[in-house]
């Protein structure tokens, strides 16, 4: 399947009118054909306007129809075959197995939202019975959630499939009945075009209005800002850098009608090793940590960029095992030149920072990332804010604390995080119990005796966390909870049965769970 | 019970250090004793810091303990006896019966949140079973909602009890486990102090840390801005004007850690009379509309400030009956001088606007509000944005449309609303069905054959709506759904049973509904 380098607006391929760029092959270190054409302001406006016009038609489809649509998107992605995997490999430098796994995750995610739609309780349907004899009489009240409107989705660089064109943001917005205007990541525009074609074909096969989905191509900040400013756009999903996310938050807040931004941005994912676990399993934890840190060349949002431990038995074993495993891990190609260059600078800054010592550092060629582990004291970490910043890639800082009280102080000084991990033995439970409230306030997911990389797509997952981990700590961007970001409640008072949405009719034609006078029932 | 005029911080009465003011009796048109002392920056800081320190203790109480606390607040409010009603009457000009009713609503609201805590499904508990044999293995994942942190609540002028010190924002924040720093409305500071004492007494009786609640007194914008800027504050509840709400939204968005603002601001609550209903019941609808418009001197957020109808049979009957009823409604004292003065100006501007004609206008003395009804054409309404602005009080604008297509055009031009009401006969159902999608996009509550004033406190209520009705159309400030504003999800991965929150333990000690592998169960 040849790649056209075009945007897709209203279901039709269209050449961007604002210049062109090419994708980069980070392994071959060369540009890839063909050129991609950047959309201009009029094209952005048209994509958003069509999304606005498609919204009422799309959201008035039945839940089963939208479920079938999501399943069809998954089928169409699989139908792209190996061409998708090969293009993604060329554009990202990621290995085949990883990309095949990510394709499975992407399709599984679409099907999970399809299941959620069929189950039905995502609508949070509620009914309060009329009490005509009461003074004053109580009316008949019914409540459910509907989509917020068209969503602008900004694809991530580090998951060219699962957090990209048909990734979690798109899947959850579609499930909610919201059209999506997608800004492709300029690092993998060919992969994006292929997946976008699959989505467009699913839109066509399911008889949906073509405005339900658009693919915008381009580089730089202008497209994103125009997109977030557009009056038809009602919410934003973003995965990327802290500077990019906060810039979009500012644009959204400055609109005459402000809109919510769900930006997943920055996290150093503290791994906290409590004393008994360190003493008993220091070397094992070091090995597991190194594997988590180097997985995918450290290019995960949940990469463990910070380790906290109390000085004592096991610390040397941890450092030795971690350092040995890190040095043994080969340097590897990073996703793109920008990431590799940022990583090189971040590691060099830590290496020359007089507050840290270097425990391990793997030399690497241009465009690659080699693992690095640094060590500092709690005092230095508390005093030097630059040590709190994310270095995206396989680098981490070990902060050695004098005692548990000082470790607590370090945790209190941390910003919001996607995850926090505790390595604990039963003898550490009291110390862990005392830390949990601090961690709950700072992280979306708390792990015990594991490592933070690996984010399950399921009902109970939270991939979110207080700012700056995300723009909005009340949300998750992975798992079925992600749909809540794109929903708002509407109440109907005394509306005749004939005019009520199916989910709220007396006879419960969808057979879903509903809350009647406060109590859950399927009646 | 004598009123001290003091703030309450850390459970202790404390004289504000930044000047003083007095409450105004709008009926007697004179100041009320005593003086109230305005808090300064250091006092605001201390209240917020104490709230931050109290948060972990407060949120770690059991749900039953917080339920008992909410019930105790209600008891303590009732224990204030008639002193509360008398002071509220003096400060607001509202009649005894209304205030006694509002006290009942306030206590009922606190008890409803207590019930919600005992029922338990507000926590949205979720569990995904570990699948150790899968490749890769799935960990054990558990999810629930926790409080976001201390909440700054800004009390409303128009509900001195139900949307004030212990009103819906405070009750829902407490239920979520969030301490509250309350900015009292300067129009009813004595009422606020009395209710604050009841809250403080309940805090003491329940053995909670005194930082759980603080009362700040003062006038002007400085206190509110300092409050929203304070790093300990994690969310804002506000009921008031559009200018006040948007100013706080801007402050919250400009923080180094942005926080959510739930501001309920501005709505003109369109009443849409479809042709058959108008022809059959024009006069009855006119009478009902007039009663809704003049209730409480029109000082409700859900007051019907806009009527849309198609020219045709019944329109004269509607105008005649509405005009007659409005002219017969006596002018009455408004809540405070600011509101009365804004109302006088708003009505005068409409009366002299060359795009409208005056159908009814009741003369009134200073400090009072008399009903007013104006008429304009759809063309004029679409062209003149000043006709869309809320005039807080018993004034409304009738927009006469040529046909249903033009009525639809008018609806499409409306901003976000708290409510939209349809007056329909069965023969109007097709027209109503075509309008519903537009109304769902613009309003939080859609009523049929009723009037928007009167907001039930229940499970299925939505008192919210797209901007500018509220800051955040994904929320409601009335009903049990209001608790969701102050919650965020946390996921626990492979956490030992001994460290899990009660709501997520295997044996379900709370006996609550939980979502296990996606399906609801009490197992």
* Chain B nearest C-alpha distance from A142 (Å): 5
> Which domains, from first to last, does chain B contain?
7-265+473-485 (3.40.605.10), 270-448 (3.40.309.10)
Q: In this structure, what are the phi and psi dihedrals at residue A205, rounded to the nearest 5 degrees?
A: -60, -35
Identified catalytic residue from A264, A319, A390, A401: A264
Which of chain A's residues have a Cβ under 8 Å away from the Cβ of B142?
460
Give the 3-state secondary structure of A286-346. HHHHHHHHHHHHHCCCCCCCEEEEECCCCHHHHHHHHHHHHHHCCCEECCCHHHHHHHHHH
Q: How far apart are CA B358 and CA A477, in angstroms?
A: 53
> What digits encode the pLDDT tens for the residues A263-310?
999 899 999 999 999 999 999 999 999 999 999 999 999 999 999 999
The residue of A474, A491, A492 whose CB has the most chain B CBs within 10 angstroms, and thus the best one to mutate to test that interface, is: A491
Q: In this structure, what are the phi and psi dihedrals at residue A4, rounded to the nearest 5 degrees?
A: -90, -20
| Beta bridge pairs of residue A8 | A13, A215
The residue of A460, A463, A465 whose CB has the most chain B CBs within 10 angstroms, and thus the best one to mutate to test that interface, is: A460
Which residue has 């926790």 as its token pair? B146
Q: In this structure, what are the phi and psi dihedrals at residue B313, rounded to the nearest 5 degrees?
A: -55, 135
pLDDT exceeds cutoff 80 at B223 = yes
Question: Which whole number is the average pLDDT over A408-436?
Answer: 98
Render A422-472 in DSSP notation, one character per residue: EE--GGGHHHHHHHHHHHHHHEEEEEESS-S-----SSS-----TTTTBS-
CA-wise closest residue to B288 among B411, B160, B396, B135: B396
Note the helical H segments in A329-377: 337-352
**Tally of CB atoms within 10 A around A363:** 7
B253 and chain A: CB distance < 8 Å anywhere?
Answer: yes
Coil, strand or helix at B8: strand
pLDDT exceeds cutoff 70 at B436 = yes
CA-wise closest residue to B266 among B443, B390, B398: B390
Q: How far apart are CA B469 and CA B442, in angstroms?
A: 9
Residue A401 is a catalytic residue = no
| Beta bridge pairs of residue B358 | B374
Answer positive or negative: Cα dihedral of B466, B470, B472, B475.
negative
Structure confidence at residue A220 (pLDDT):
85
* Nearest residue of chain A to residue B416 (CA atoms): A257
Q: What is the mean pLDDT of chain A?
A: 97
Answer positive or negative: Cα dihedral of B338, B343, B344, B348.
positive
> What digits encode the pLDDT tens for the residues B61-120?
999 999 999 999 999 999 999 999 999 999 999 999 999 999 999 999 999 999 999 999
The number of C-alpha atoms within 13 Å of B343 and in the hemisphere containing its C-beta is 31
B402 and chain A: CB distance < 8 Å anywhere?
Answer: no
Question: Which whole number is the average pLDDT over B220-224?
Answer: 92
Cβ neighbourhood burial of A511 (10 Å; 0-12, 13-18, 19+): exposed
Residue A301 is a catalytic residue = yes
Q: Are A22 and A35 in contact (CB under 8 A)?
A: yes
Structure confidence at residue A42 (pLDDT):
97
Q: Are B234 and B258 in contact (CB under 8 A)?
A: no
Which residue has 């991530």 as its token pair? A156
B409 and chain A: CB distance < 8 Å anywhere?
Answer: no
Q: How far apart are CA B27 and CA A351, in angstroms?
A: 73
| Beta bridge pairs of residue B497 | none
Listed in order, strand segments (DSSP E) in B184-260 are 213-216, 235-239
And the tokens for A11? 């279901």
In chain B, the percentage of residues whose pLDDT exceeds 90 is 98
And the tokens for B392? 């807080």
* Chain B nearest C-alpha distance from A243 (Å): 13
* Chain B nearest C-alpha distance from A73 (Å): 22
Q: What is the mean pLDDT of chain B?
A: 97
And the tokens for B304? 């019907």
Q: Which residues contact B209 (CB under 8 A, 6 or more apart)?
A: B50, B53, B54, B57, B58, B203
Q: How far apart are CA A192 and CA A7, in angstroms?
A: 10
And the tokens for B321? 């009956």
Identified catalytic residue from B264, B319, B390, B415: B264
* Ramachandran region, residue B465 (left: φ > 0; alpha: ψ -120 to 50; beta: rest): left
Question: Which whole number is the average pLDDT over A457-481?
Answer: 97
Structure confidence at residue B1 (pLDDT):
67
Which of chain A's residues have a Cβ under 8 Å away from the Cβ of B495?
446-448
Question: Which whole number is the average pLDDT over B397-401?
Answer: 98
Structure confidence at residue A17 (pLDDT):
86
Which of chain A's residues have a Cβ under 8 Å away from the Cβ of B472?
260
Which residue has 């005092």 as its token pair? A379
Rg over CA atoms, chain B: 24
Q: Which of A445, A489, A518 sits opposite B444 (nearest CB)?
A: A489
In chain A, the percentage of residues whose pLDDT exceeds 70 is 100
> What digits encode the pLDDT tens for the residues B312-339?
999 999 999 999 999 999 999 999 999 9
Render B103-116 in DSSP notation, one character per residue: HHHHHHHHHHHHHH
Question: Which whole number is the average pLDDT over B270-282?
Answer: 98
Q: How far apart are CA A227 and CA A236, in angstroms?
A: 9
| Beta bridge pairs of residue A13 | A8
B302 and chain A: CB distance < 8 Å anywhere?
Answer: no
> What digits encode the pLDDT tens for the residues A174-207?
999 999 999 999 999 999 999 999 999 999 999 9
B271 and chain A: CB distance < 8 Å anywhere?
Answer: no
pLDDT bin (cut points 50, 70, 90) of residue B17 is confident
Identified catalytic residue from A301, A319, A401, A415: A301
Q: In this structure, what are the phi and psi dihedrals at residue A367, rounded to the nearest 5 degrees?
A: 85, -5
Eight-class DSSP state of B38:
P
Which of chain B's residues have a Cβ under 8 Å away from the Cβ of A432?
499
Question: Which whole number is the average pLDDT over B357-385?
Answer: 96
Which of chain B's residues have a Cβ under 8 Å away from the Cβ of A146?
440
* Nearest residue of chain B to residue A147 (CA atoms): B441
User: What are the angstrom distances between the C-alpha of A1 and each of A10, A190, B78?
Assistant: 21, 11, 74
pLDDT exceeds cutoff 70 at B496 = yes
Pairing of strands B141-147, B126-128: antiparallel
Question: Which whole number is the average pLDDT over B507-521?
Answer: 96
pLDDT bin (cut points 50, 70, 90) of residue A1 is low
Are B491 and A446 inside 8 Å of each other by CB? yes
CA-wise closest residue to B302 among B471, B110, B447, B479: B447
């Amino acid at each position: 399947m040849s790649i056209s380098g075009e945007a897709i607006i209203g279901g039709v391929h269209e050449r961007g009118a604002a210049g062109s760029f090419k994708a980069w092959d980070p392994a071959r270190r060369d540009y890839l054909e063909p050129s991609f054409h950047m959309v201009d302001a009029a094209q952005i406006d048209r994509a958003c306007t069509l999304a606005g016009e498609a919204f009422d038609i799309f959201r008035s489809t039945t839940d089963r129809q939208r479920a079938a649509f999501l399943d069809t998107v998954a089928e169409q992605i699989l139908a792209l075959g190996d061409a998708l995997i090969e293009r993604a490999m060329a554009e990202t430098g990621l290995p085949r197995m990883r990309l095949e796994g990510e394709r499975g995750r992407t399709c599984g995610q679409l099907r999970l939202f399809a299941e959620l739609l069929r189950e039905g309780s995502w609508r949070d349907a509620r009914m309060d019975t009329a009490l005509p004899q009461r003074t004053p009489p109580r009316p008949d009240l019914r409540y459910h959630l509907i989509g917020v409107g068209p969503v602008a989705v900004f694809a991530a660089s580090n998951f060219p499939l699962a957090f990209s064109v048909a990734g979690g943001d798109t899947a959850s917005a579609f499930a909610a009945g919201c059209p999506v205007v997608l800004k492709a990541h300029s690092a993998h525009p060919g992969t994006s075009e292929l997946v976008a074609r699959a989505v467009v074909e699913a839109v066509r096969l399911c008889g949906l209005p073509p405005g339900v989905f658009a693919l915008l191509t381009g580089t730089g900040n202008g497209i994103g800002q125009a997109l977030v400013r557009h009056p038809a756009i009602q919410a934003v999903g973003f995965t990327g850098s802290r500077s990019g996310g906060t810039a979009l938050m500012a644009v959204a807040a400055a609109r005459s009608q402000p809109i919510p931004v769900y930006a997943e941005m920055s996290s150093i994912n503290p791994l906290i090793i409590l004393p008994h676990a360190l003493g008993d399993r220091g070397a094992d934890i070091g090995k597991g940590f190194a594997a988590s840190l180097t997985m995918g060349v450290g290019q995960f949002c949940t990469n463990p960029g910070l380790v906290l431990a109390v000085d004592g038995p096991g610390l040397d074993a941890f450092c030795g095992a971690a350092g040995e495993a890190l040095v043994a891990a080969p340097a590897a190609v990073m996703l793109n030149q920008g990431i590799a260059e940022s990583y090189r600078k971040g590691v060099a800054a830590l290496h020359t920072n007089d507050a840290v010592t270097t425990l391990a550092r793997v030399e690497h060629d241009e465009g690659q990332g080699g693992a690095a582990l640094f060590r500092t004291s709690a005092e230095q970490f508390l005093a030097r804010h630059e040590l709190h910043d994310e270095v995206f890639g396989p680098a981490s800082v070990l902060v050695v604390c004098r005692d548990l009280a000082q470790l607590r102080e370090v945790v209190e000084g941390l910003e919001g995080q996607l995850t926090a991990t505790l390595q604990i033995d039963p003898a550490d439970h009291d110390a862990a119990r005392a830390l949990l409230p601090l961690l709950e306030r700072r992280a979306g997911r708390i792990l015990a005796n594991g490592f933070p990389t690996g984010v399950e797509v399921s009902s109970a997952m939270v991939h979110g966390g207080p700012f700056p981990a995300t723009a909005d700590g009340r949300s998750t961007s992975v798992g079925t909870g992600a749909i809540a970001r794109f929903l708002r409640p509407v109440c109907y008072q005394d509306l005749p049965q004939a005019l009520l949405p199916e989910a709220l009719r007396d006879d419960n034609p969808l057979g879903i769970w509903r809350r009647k006078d406060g109590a859950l029932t399927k009646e």
